[in-house]
Structure 1
């Protein structure tokens, strides 16, 4: 009876490990795929939505810099009540309404406006690359969270099955002790392993809850019947191929180069402070004294007047205490820092790419060795159990063989998770882990940062504004806590 129960339990564990291979299964009505999870992240993750909003803010820097070179017009109205007049003034008015209108047209600013606009455009390009990097980083976190849930579920199932196996072993050992076939030491060994397995199951359940909560944080909904992930597209054949692609497409490296170019324009802007500026101006003034100008002889004075003038203003800096030179040296130092940052980013990209490639290859090798280890451990356990049934093997040997099989299966599960996560991290380092690269179906067109730039570019109306800001991401406060999602199969039997 005990041997039959052990055999049935072994079949359950074998079936469990077959499911752990992440082979394709028929999806249930509520099943979720990795592509669906990534699409949900793309549409509702607050970090990604915030990065898009920050990029829209950066788009406006071009308009801010351009405005410095455009005409400006102001009007000022002033009403004055003269409460105390000079004793020697016989014509001072009692009140005055003054209206002044000014128009200024910058003509030449030493290149400050032109270079400021160029720097802003470079930073917009850098921001777009940063947005790409944020998207791929969030996707990489989501892939890791998705695979962590699958791994945690598999390990929890393994732990639950191990509890069943060790319970049967403990019960059969107790039965054999009752008939004098085994010693109390054998019973104690079986009981000890059974108790440890129950503790391991509780730990596995805790890890599963943590994995599910991380998934909820990123995706915005609870994981339900996660399906096998699809094959990763475009993985390289060699580390050299991966590095070459990363040096061309990695968004962090692109952003660093764009910022270095922007710093070069900042250097020119700082140097323009020592050059002349030229501008046109026009002024219009209107004054109305409300009949109070001139006192007793007010009829001899005009009670309102209008004046206007226009001209050209040339400003030539002669001495500014070294301010322009200090600003340009400062800008030059920042440009040097930006150029060094390009090299640092390049080094980091190469390191990350090579490390991800090595991890991916190593995990694939571990999968192969783990498969062999599982097969060997299954044969070993079968032989040890057979030997124990005829008295040639001890209970501790059976327990050790069962533990070795569990460890091999857990290593296989972890290796499959690590291989997939490392592969996706490799794609991210290569700049190929974004929605456009994965052909995600997001329920609409992909977000295009260029569309907003073109929408706002050149808009010069001061009263132009967008709708009131509102969050686009989803909250998770109403999602059921992870403890309530654990099915009865994961609960240890009493």
Structure 2
């Protein structure tokens, strides 16, 4: 028996990046995919809008120190009938009364209420900025997962397509040899079975690839083209202890809870100030014509200080203050929970990363050994000491080893992304994503300085940055 010799070609390293479907664009890197997601992802757009809404709390708090100015005007027409007893007289008089009144009120003292509200608003802005970073990391993590899923599934499809091609030639050779009596029908059936199995694996791999492409499109905003395997992430910790320390201090969800706790304490102070006196200075200028008689003119100017002292508030103020204090207690507990969660995520990601690296080293050794074993089996099959089934088994072992290497590389990359997210370093600045960074201070500075917006009177409002 002299079965047809066939040697499986060793796939080059670039095979892991090859596309099973036609490429839609030039090769994309992970950082380019992150840049696209940073610009177009709706989650990030929604969170930026939420931050801009939080920014508005600062000018609202500042308004407590600023004056309010009100203008009022009236005009009318009246017919007045007058009758006097002594001396007897009567008559009808028509008048057109009109008045204009301008009033300005300047708060002088509010028991520290405006100051507390301003600090609370600033803390909430800081909390929302931290949440924006957290959402940014969530989007980048999803981008990394989707990217590596596509890279993995493209490589697996490439391997399965190559395997089908190999087994088709193997089956054709077996059928040719069967015709001349060099192999048995059993050998042909074994080759047919392995080909059918390979086709099923290829179809499954292609289905998984299409699913991964759809996930990529959802996160990034477009279908993937040819993807390049990413380099290691920047700024990962060198030890597990460093990872735990970074997670305890740099996780954005932890920072958000800290600022929310501070804001709640300032809310309690603002509520307490409602029990203190308030002092306002009010100035009024008014002009009236035909108010008391035809042809009359009245001009008045007044300036007055008003002191308001709350004596009894029916328990509402103290109740709201207690509620604010309990809200602060809740965020204190949330902060500790998020710290523990961040540490857990960092440890899990660290261990997964270490395990993936160790597994990858072993699997790489397995691939080399499987290639050597296949080569030896094919040579032994040529001289009749090995069967076709032995060669088919060796080919399947090599395919499985290569697929496992691809999947382990994906698991290694995913673990590194999860570790970076847990310690707050999966961000546009740290990873140097090639995209203009969203300037959250631009809108904050604009609305903080905006004291009067005529556009708001006509429904225009302010322009979002």
Q: Same fold (TM over 0.5)?
A: yes
* 2:325 match: 332
* 1:317 match: 310
Matches within 5 A, 1:341-490: 341-442=334-435, 444=436, 446-463=437-454
CA contact (8 A) 1:242 1:430 kept: yes
Aligned match of 1:76 in 43, 67, 72? 72
* 2:99 match: 98
CA contact (8 A) 2:3 2:183 kept: no
Point out where structure 2 has 5 or more consecutive residues left out of the alignment: 19-24, 85-89
CA contact (8 A) 1:21 1:416 kept: no
Change (3 A) 1:36 1:87: farther
Q: Structure 1 residue 195 and structure 2 residue 196: aligned?
A: yes
CA contact (8 A) 1:366 1:415 kept: yes
Q: Which moved more, 1:280-289 or 1:103-112?
A: 280-289
Shift of 1:82: 6.0
Change (3 A) 1:244 1:87: farther
* 2:218 match: 217
CA contact (8 A) 1:162 1:406 kept: yes
Cα distance between partner residues in 1 of 2:377 and 2:93: 118
Deviations 1:18-51 (A, max 9, x none): 63399xxxxxx93222233223333443433333
SS in 2 for 1:437: coil
Shift of 1:185: 4.1
Cα distance between partner residues in 1 of 2:354 and 2:93: 93
Q: Structure 1 residue 50 and structure 2 residue 46: aligned?
A: yes
Shift of 1:107: 1.4
CA contact (8 A) 1:48 1:135 kept: yes
Deviations 1:282-332 (A, max 9, x none): 223333348xx65xxx5xxx5442333221111122222211011111111
Cα distance between partner residues in 1 of 2:93 and 2:353: 89
* 2:259 match: 258
SS in 1 for 2:429: helix
Shift of 1:390: 4.3
* 2:21 match: none
CA contact (8 A) 1:16 1:157 kept: no
Cα distance between partner residues in 1 of 2:283 and 2:365: 88
Shift of 1:85: 8.9
Shift of 1:416: 0.7
Change (3 A) 1:351 1:85: farther
Change (3 A) 1:309 1:157: same
Shift of 1:264: 0.9
Aligned match of 2:36 in 13, 25, 40? 40
Matches within 5 A, 1:81-230: 96-230=97-231
Q: Structure 1 residue 60 and structure 2 residue 53: aligned?
A: no
Shift of 1:414: 0.8
Deviations 1:177-236 (A, max 9, x none): 444454444433332221222122122122222222332333334433322312322222
Point out where structure 1 has 5 or more consecutive residues left out of the alignment: 23-28, 473-494
CA contact (8 A) 2:102 2:286 kept: yes
Q: Which moved more, 1:322-331 or 1:457-466?
A: 457-466
Number of aligned positions between the proteins: 451
Deviations 1:228-286 (A, max 9, x none): 31232222222111111222222121111111111110111122222221111122333
Change (3 A) 1:18 1:462: closer
Deviations 1:406-464 (A, max 9, x none): 2211110011111112112212221222222123333x5x3332343233323212326
Change (3 A) 1:468 1:335: closer
* 1:19 match: 15
CA contact (8 A) 1:16 1:158 kept: no
Change (3 A) 1:468 1:263: closer
* 2:248 match: 247
Shift of 1:83: 9.1
The two structures have a TM-score, normalised by structure 2, of: 0.87
Shift of 1:103: 1.0
SS in 2 for 1:245: helix
Change (3 A) 1:380 1:276: same
Instruction: Please provide the CA RMSD for this pair.
Output: 3.2
Shift of 1:71: 0.6
SS in 1 for 2:108: strand
Change (3 A) 1:315 1:93: farther
